[in-house]
Structure 1
Amino acid sequence: MVVYALLQALRSLRQHLTSTLATFFTALVSFSLLFLLGLLLWNLDRVVASLERELEVAAFLKPEARVDALLEQIKTWPEVSEARLQTKEEALATLQLDYPYLAQAREFIQNPLPDTIRIKLNDAQAVREVGRRVARLDGVDSVEYGGALTEQLVRVLAGLRVAVNILVVLLLLDTLFSVMGTIRLSIENRREELRVMQLVGATRRFIQGPFVAEGTLLTLAAGLVALGLGTVSYRFLAEALQNLLPFVPVLADGDLARAALAMLVLAVLLGATGAYLSLLTSCS
């Protein structure tokens, strides 16, 4: 039965080639955009997560600050995952690694850097609140945190996700209705043949099988081509990004494989669903 369904599906696809190609290219555009946009959003999630992991609050202390008491108090806060003291000597040594010429001036000037408490958080969204709370503590001179950029990226990512989800739904609906139109045309072309099959006792599953196979083959072929185009495009963009910003994370081959598998499953489900819905409406 499976072989019969596939052969009938291929024959039907050849018979109305114009409709087949129109549906194929509609699905190809939809799946290509869906796959590439999905990879880019996933990659942007990785970038934001990486920034959040590196995010910390730096509390610059006054000379008379009670360091041990401040550390113990900050460590009790539920938002804090780690709090450590960076002495002014450690801060100067770190600075000299970035600017070696400062080592030559060390003998002539006094270390101007303050002792600093560096705080890492469990939730990057709490960085602003924690920064304000630390600034009110006795012995803290000033506070710095790099949360502004991360917060902006999170807001941009949320807006992009909403826009992309709306676009994806519209593209998938377009593909679904296109598949339904192609299958409906196949049903109309074989209307007399289907009546004869019903009269001789063919089962409903036997009659519907070729049409479901036709819709599935159509979207699966478009999905496979879209995967190739999307993967090549993403690798090109990722390589260019890595050359420009080597520290920015990109998706690994395993991530691409999981995204490809999800795309193929979606393509099969969309094609089979479109064909089945077309059969229901044609028989009603």
Structure 2
Amino acid sequence: MYALSQAWRSLSQHLTSTLATFFTALVSFSLLFLLGLVLWNLDRVVASLEGELEVAAFLKPEADAQALLAQIKTWPEVAQVNLQTKEEALATLQLDYPYLAQAREFIQNPLPDTLRLKLSDPQKVREVGRRLERLNGVDSVEYGGTLTEQLVRVLTGLRVAVNILIVLLLLDTLFSVMGTIRLSIENRRDELRVMQLVGATRRFIQGPFVAEGILLTLAASLLALILGALSYRFLAAALQNLLPFVPVLSQSDLIRASAAMVLLALLLGAMGAFIASRANLREADL
């Protein structure tokens, strides 16, 4: 209680510095939380696309479909492979376009037998596609991996850029906390000397300053969580109205992200305050 009361007293004594550090931390944590949620959601979208990724190998009329099916089943990259005959393909097409059933008796089925593959590792879709093209009896190969590969590349570049931004924001918050603690020490220098003379240890003297740093970052992170969660919910609702099939983070995901943010804020505040108080107390020979 002593450390908390002294920390609150110190924060109220230099209100301008306190507010400057608070709003710096608020901006940093708000951006960190919102960008983290967006990146996490993009990972979910890419994972969903990869899970639905299918490779289709269209066979030539003379191809031995059963032999190809047995051969492809032995490939380690293939999790599942099914043969769709041209009759099954036509029946599926007629479900989507019922008017084709009326012309079924007048035209010959133009669709080929097709092998449909699900991969255990979607990242190897291009490699598997090229192997399929080299098989005897395979006419052509199609897969939707191009879009997924582009999304993965964009996500990788975006993640690098966001991580650099996050590091810069956290360093800015850390140094702001350290500046506030240094000012607190300067304002209480005479009081701290008296405390040392009556036998207070350096750890005891540092306690209120560490509590001060924790209070600053904790308050900023809690407000940032509210702002970030509201912003994400607005973006997620707009996205689902536009694209209902796109997955969004659940309530439990938001709780986990919020807990991680609070822990980071506590660590950042405590570390910044401890480093600043230790260095400045040592400089002042306290």
1:14 matched to which residue of 2?
12
Give, in whole Å, the separation in 1 of the partners of 2:153 and 2:111: 34
1:83 matched to which residue of 2?
81
Which ranges of structure 1 fall in alignment gaps of 5 or more residues?
Answer: none
Give, in whole Å, the separation in 2 of the partners of 1:222 and 1:243: 32
Q: Is 2:181–2:273's contact at 8 Å kept on the other side of the alignment?
A: yes
Q: Secondary structure at the match of 2:117?
A: strand
- Which amino acid counterpart does residue 208 of structure 2 have in structure 1? P
Give, in whole Å, the separation in 2 of the partners of 1:217 and 1:49: 38
Give, in whole Å, the separation in 2 of the partners of 1:99 and 1:182: 70
2:111 matched to which residue of 1?
113
- Which amino acid counterpart does residue 170 of structure 2 have in structure 1? L
Which whole-Å deviations, capped at 9, do the CAs of 1:60-96 have from their partners, x for residues lacking one?
0111111111011111111111111011122122222
Give, in whole Å, the separation in 2 of the partners of 1:66 and 1:86: 13
2:151 is matched with which residue: 150, 153, 171?
153
- Please tell me whether residue 96 in structure 1 is matched to residue 70 in structure 2: no
Q: Is 2:206–2:278's contact at 8 Å kept on the other side of the alignment?
A: no
Q: How many residues align?
A: 282
1:25 is matched with which residue: 23, 26, 43?
23
Give, in whole Å, the separation in 1 of the partners of 2:96 and 2:160: 41
List 4+ stretches of structure 1 deviating above 4 A. Answer: none
Aligned residues: CA RMSD: 0.9
Q: Give matches, 1:49-198, under 5 Å.
A: 49-198=47-196
Which whole-Å deviations, capped at 9, do the CAs of 1:165-219 have from their partners, x for residues lacking one?
0000000000000000001000110000000001111122221111000000000
1:235 matched to which residue of 2?
233
Task: Tell me the TM-score normalised to structure 2 length.
Answer: 0.97
Which ranges of structure 2 fall in alignment gaps of 5 or more residues?
Answer: none
Task: Tell me the TM-score normalised to structure 1 length.
Answer: 0.97
Percent identity, aligned pairs only, is 82
Q: Secondary structure at the match of 2:98?
A: coil
Q: Is 2:29–2:221's contact at 8 Å kept on the other side of the alignment?
A: yes
Q: Secondary structure at the match of 1:101?
A: helix
2:281 is matched with which residue: 262, 280, 283?
283
2:271 matched to which residue of 1?
273
Q: Secondary structure at the match of 1:40?
A: helix
Structure 1 residue 16: deviation in Å? 0.5
Structure 1 residue 108: deviation in Å? 2.7
Give, in whole Å, the separation in 2 of the partners of 1:18 and 1:104: 80
Give, in whole Å, the separation in 1 of the partners of 2:186 and 2:43: 47
Give, in whole Å, the separation in 2 of the partners of 1:103 and 1:280: 82
Give, in whole Å, the separation in 1 of the partners of 2:102 and 2:239: 37
Which whole-Å deviations, capped at 9, do the CAs of 1:87-124 have from their partners, x for residues lacking one?
11221222223223323332332221111000111111
Pick which of 68-77 and 93-102 moved more: 93-102
1:220 matched to which residue of 2?
218
Structure 1 residue 243: deviation in Å? 0.7
Pick which of 73-82 and 85-94 moved more: 85-94
Give, in whole Å, the separation in 2 of the partners of 1:99 and 1:122: 32
Q: Is 2:46–2:152's contact at 8 Å kept on the other side of the alignment?
A: yes
